């Protein structure tokens, strides 16, 4: 899919719009894509970044709410997201097929050699994680990589340069008792707000992709896409 990165829908920079979509409306099980949740987490993110004085908080919250609604309006117009009518307690959104491609796209170009180097490192990390014993003190080891599927232009075309490498990463829990124990400990220690960000699956995904800026890693293969399996867990 060709994207005009110079376009400014509703006056919004395309890279800014893409980054918002990746944060708030990613096709991922751990994302809370209801409108009120999106606004709440964006408000919290901005406040953590800016550390505002008490008298400034209300104005910041109002601005973030307006910005979120502007981003969502632009994404709807572009056809990158759509409303989920089956959920009625709030307005929920999900990516369209073109939206998934947009969320993973990059205006930068990288050499195929550089992309392959990062891909090889990612697969090495997947293998390393699966060979580690589950450890409550290292929460990502409670999980295991089931498969890594390559799709998109890097899989189909022998291009000399690429925007990114599209991957579908499937992770599961290998020790359910340890997983439940860790989440209970995390909940008691950090409360509701931080427990999601300390989920072992989230931490495993974060560690696997750290520093690999050419890779676009999701948890679902876009509808209609056919990928190539690069990594598959071996049953012990």
Q: Per-residue pLDDT for 68 more than 90?
A: yes
Domain ranges of the chain: 9-102, 108-232
Q: What is the mean pLDDT of the chain?
A: 86
Q: What is the pLDDT of residues 192-230, one digit of tens each?
A: 555 556 789 988 998 999 999 889 888 777 767 788 999
pLDDT digits (tens, 9 = 90+) for 143-181: 999 999 998 878 876 777 888 888 999 999 999 999 988
pLDDT digits (tens, 9 = 90+) for 101-115: 788 777 888 899 999
Judged against a pLDDT cut of 80, whether residue 84 lies above it is answered with yes
The predicted pLDDT at position 27 comes to 56
pTM to 2 decimal places: 0.65
pLDDT at 1 over 70: no
Query: Do the Cβ atoms of 144 and 174 come closer than 8 Å?
Result: yes
To the question of domain 9-102 being in CATH 1.10.10, the answer is: yes
């Amino acid at each position: 899919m060709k994207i005009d990165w110079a376009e400014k829908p509703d006056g919004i920079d395309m890279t800014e719009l893409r980054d918002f979509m990746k944060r708030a409306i990613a096709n991922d099980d751990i994302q809370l894509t209801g409108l009120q949740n999106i606004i709440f987490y964006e408000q919290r993110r901005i406040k953590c970044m800016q550390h505002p004085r008490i008298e400034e908080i209300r104005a910041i919250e109002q601005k973030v709410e307006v910005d979120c609604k502007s981003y969502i309006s632009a994404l709807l117009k572009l056809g990158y997201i759509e409303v989920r009518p089956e959920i009625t307690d709030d307005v929920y959104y999900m990516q369209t097929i073109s939206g998934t491609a947009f969320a993973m796209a990059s205006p930068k170009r990288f050499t195929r050699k550089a992309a392959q180097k990062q891909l090889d490192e990612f697969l090495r990390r997947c293998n390393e994680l699966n060979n580690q014993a589950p450890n409550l003190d290292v929460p990502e080891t409670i999980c295991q990589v089931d498969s890594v599927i390559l799709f998109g232009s890097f899989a189909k075309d022998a291009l000399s340069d690429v925007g990114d490498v599209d991957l579908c990463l499937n992770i599961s829990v290998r020790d359910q008792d340890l997983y439940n124990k860790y989440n209970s400990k995390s909940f008691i220690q950090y409360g509701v707000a931080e427990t999601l960000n300390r989920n072992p699956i989230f931490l495993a995904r974060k560690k696997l992709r750290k520093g690999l800026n050419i890779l676009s890693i999701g948890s679902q293969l876009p509808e209609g896409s056919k990928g190539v399996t690069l990594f598959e867990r071996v049953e012990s």
